[in-house]
Structure 1
Amino acid sequence: MNDFPTLSWPDTDGPRTVRWRSEAGVPPPKRVVLADDRTTADAAYRLACEGTALLWRGDYQNARQLLQAMARRADRKPHKAPASLLDAFNLHRQAQSQRARTLGMVLIPLEGDYTIPLRRAPDVRLACEEAWGPATSDASAVSLRELLGLIGAHEWRKKGVEIPALNHARIHPYYGVFSPVRGEYVDLVARTPLPSIDLAFDIGTGTGVLSAVLAARGVKQVVATDQDPRALTCARENLARLGYGERVQVVEANLFPAGRAPLVVCNPPWVPARPASPIEYAVFDPDSRMLRGYLDGLKDHLEPGGEGWLILSDFAEHLGLRTREALVEMIANAGLQVIGREDIRARHPKAADRTDPLHEARAKEVTSLWRLKVRGA
């Protein structure tokens, strides 16, 4: 019996069933029709809004153009005026979810070796292998929107992200691993005075970028942790490429490794809200679970006199998802005290984009590195 979901549709030669691929965890559409170059954007958009998926049989580049036309129609939908920033956030997430669901209804077939059996289709085999592992003999289908994201991630992985704090070396993110395109938190770790250069823990390392910065600053040994297999492999590869493979040990762990360190660093997801898909756990931390877990466990993993660094944006505070008082209370309840804080203003493009529905919050955003120690230590 297959341990993966399947997609079925009526074909000219009878019903067909293939493997369904969705990194976002979206279930396979129940209704599927065949579509090709004769399908109009209006017809496709109407079917998608009704929950009917379109399995594409025409020219691949025409499918991309169709998806763009459908996106323009989705973006023309009137938006309800929000009553508050929190309301704006909820409406924005709702609209994003609906848009993704509708545009995800254009499906692309894949052969068992990840080739696309369509005219003018690109070679996506390497991108698919990076995301899904080695090809099998299973034919499959995937939403074109998700496939384009996978291709984009492959290009990011090849090109890498330049990190000024690493003397402009590049970090190469894997598909599904949070990319360090927001440099503010990296700069905070690069400039805050180190309490020790003997040992540091990097909790939830992701691409390994903060471990690399700590090693570049002279920390003799770093233990980096993560639970995601992709992140673990990604971090090891980046650190080896940068020449820090011997000094940084990457281990699988739920938050903390064994032992104590004079410096423990964590950059948890900044928004305490429910992610819409598994890939969003790098941004959304439901009920502040990772934040609370880090704070509550920190005192048991700090050496006497050691510092815990918490890197957190106040974006959630501006949205009304968390208050500063609640954060300070979490720190106190964990038996910790604040001994200092480094702040940096947001400089990403959305902070200056007045058309963004969350611009008011983004324009005020400050990312902080909270220096913590065990209370009374």
Structure 2
Amino acid sequence: MSLVRWTENAPLSARWHSESGFPPPRRLIVADDRLRAATTHRLTAEGTALLWRGGYHGARRLLSALSRRIDRKAPQPTPSPTETFRLQRRFRAHRARLLGRFLVLLEPDHSLALRRAPDVRRACTEAYGPPSGPTLVPLRELLGVLGAHQWREKGVPVPALGDDARIHPYYGVFAPVRGEYVDLVAETPLPTVGPGCGTAFDLGTGTGVLAAVLARRGVRRVIATDLSSRARVCARDNLARLGLADRVTVTGPELYPPGRAALVVCNPPWLPARPASTLDQGVYDPGGAMLHAFLTGLSAHLEPGGEGWLILSDLAEHLGLRTRAELLGAIEEAGLKVLARTDTRPRHPRATDPGDPLHAARAAEVTSLWRLAVRRPSGRTGGGRAEVLIHP
């Protein structure tokens, strides 16, 4: 545990907590409503952290003003999508560091002692665990915690699970707001092994949404895994809410559970780049590690006649981070063949936002469900290159 010490009429200290993995500040000064945006920008750019003691709404306004000042220096798109992606990631990391120096103090019970501040205790306990003394946190992260609490309370509608069915994402667990990949799993014909699809694995289950879809489709037993303990708790909660806890077992942290299954589903992070923090792990997969672990382990965990379903966006290809040839080569090297591929277009707002620096790549993005099977050991059939295109 890291302690931050400062003087404010008397020597004080508090535990440091940053979900983004920022180190504790080396320099800290106390600030209030007299502080202006230009001064805030200069101090944070110099590496000074600000502990806010003014009103809550003033803090939010000043944080927004600081964001706008930082955004004036945002890089412009380049002719190279790869270079644009790298510049944007570098800028966002810089932006997050500066905004992460604007701090608030959570009291020993997780309350926020600022004028007109909301009650943040429940949201903080959900995200951080039980209170254990005064804690310094970046205001930007606290606002994320409050937003995640609202998502957790109201849930995300998932039509594939039935009328009014919702998934309740926890803080730090990837929310199923992009419904196209859920629909792919809901609509692709299940493999028939023996009397039906008896067992399925859902690797990297997150909120448990795909495990729930498989169970609702009639798979008799689903084993869902996840590296994150927070995700496993979230998945168990959602499956219990949906009345599916008796048919879905959630385990981890290993990617594959013991045994074999008629169906193995994996929706790995789509971009082979290093996450900036644990909060990014649902999007970024360093070197495609999870993707390759799924492919190389699949043949040892499929029942004869079983299928592996890989759900993957081709955004990485449009950004120059991975080629289609590299993906097909990894499939073939793992001793697998492609039975079919179903494509769909993303429906999220950023896909149609011309102001997004990565608009050209996002507009061309396709999300696919690849149906994979073990290649027969008698020789290559070229199945690793076969593609059946279906456009919903």
For the superposition of Structure 1 and Structure 2, which TM-score range results when normalised by the shorter chain? Answer: over 0.9
Q: Where in structure 2 are there 5+ consecutive unaligned residues?
A: 378-392
Tell whether the 8 Å contact from 2:103 to 2:138 is kept in structure 1 after alignment. Answer: yes
Aligned mates of 2:79, 2:365 — CA distance in 1: 20
Q: Where in structure 1 are there 5+ consecutive unaligned residues?
A: none
Q: Does 1:186 align with 2:182?
A: yes
Tell whether the 8 Å contact from 1:59 to 1:121 is kept in structure 2 after alignment. Answer: yes
The residue identity in structure 2 corresponding to 1:84 is S
The match for 1:65 among 61, 64, 82 is: 61
The residue identity in structure 2 corresponding to 1:160 is G
Aligned mates of 1:142, 1:328 — CA distance in 2: 44
Aligned mates of 1:266, 1:213 — CA distance in 2: 13
> Mapping of 1:1-377 within 5 angstroms?
4-13=1-10, 15-77=11-73, 79-136=75-132, 138-168=133-163, 169-196=165-192, 197-376=197-376
Tell whether the 8 Å contact from 1:108 to 1:144 is kept in structure 2 after alignment. Answer: yes
Q: Per-residue displacement from partner, 1:266-293 (whole Å, max 9, x unpaired)? A: 0000000011111111110001100000
Tell whether the 8 Å contact from 2:76 to 2:357 is kept in structure 1 after alignment. Answer: no
The alignment's TM-score, normalised by the length of structure 1, stands at 0.97
Aligned mates of 1:217, 1:359 — CA distance in 2: 36
Give the drift of 1:144: 0.4
Tell whether the 8 Å contact from 2:275 to 2:281 is kept in structure 1 after alignment. Answer: yes
Aligned mates of 1:63, 1:121 — CA distance in 2: 10
Between the aligned residues of both structures, percent identity stands at 60
Tell whether the 8 Å contact from 2:153 to 2:168 is kept in structure 1 after alignment. Answer: yes
The residue identity in structure 1 corresponding to 2:260 is R
The residue identity in structure 1 corresponding to 2:7 is P
Aligned mates of 1:316, 1:20 — CA distance in 2: 35
Aligned mates of 2:115, 2:77 — CA distance in 1: 44
Tell whether the 8 Å contact from 1:82 to 1:91 is kept in structure 2 after alignment. Answer: no
Aligned mates of 2:198, 2:75 — CA distance in 1: 54
Pick which of 265-274 and 37-46 moved more.
Answer: 37-46
Aligned mates of 1:212, 1:81 — CA distance in 2: 40
Give the drift of 1:81: 4.5
Aligned mates of 1:80, 1:64 — CA distance in 2: 27
Give the drift of 1:223: 0.7
Tell whether the 8 Å contact from 2:343 to 2:367 is kept in structure 1 after alignment. Answer: yes
Give the drift of 1:182: 0.7
Give the drift of 1:193: 0.5
Tell whether the 8 Å contact from 2:344 to 2:366 is kept in structure 1 after alignment. Answer: yes
Tell whether the 8 Å contact from 2:74 to 2:91 is kept in structure 1 after alignment. Answer: no
Aligned mates of 2:251, 2:66 — CA distance in 1: 44
> Secondary structure of the equivalent of 2:205?
coil
Aligned mates of 1:8, 1:147 — CA distance in 2: 20
Aligned length, in residue pairs = 372
Aligned mates of 1:43, 1:33 — CA distance in 2: 12
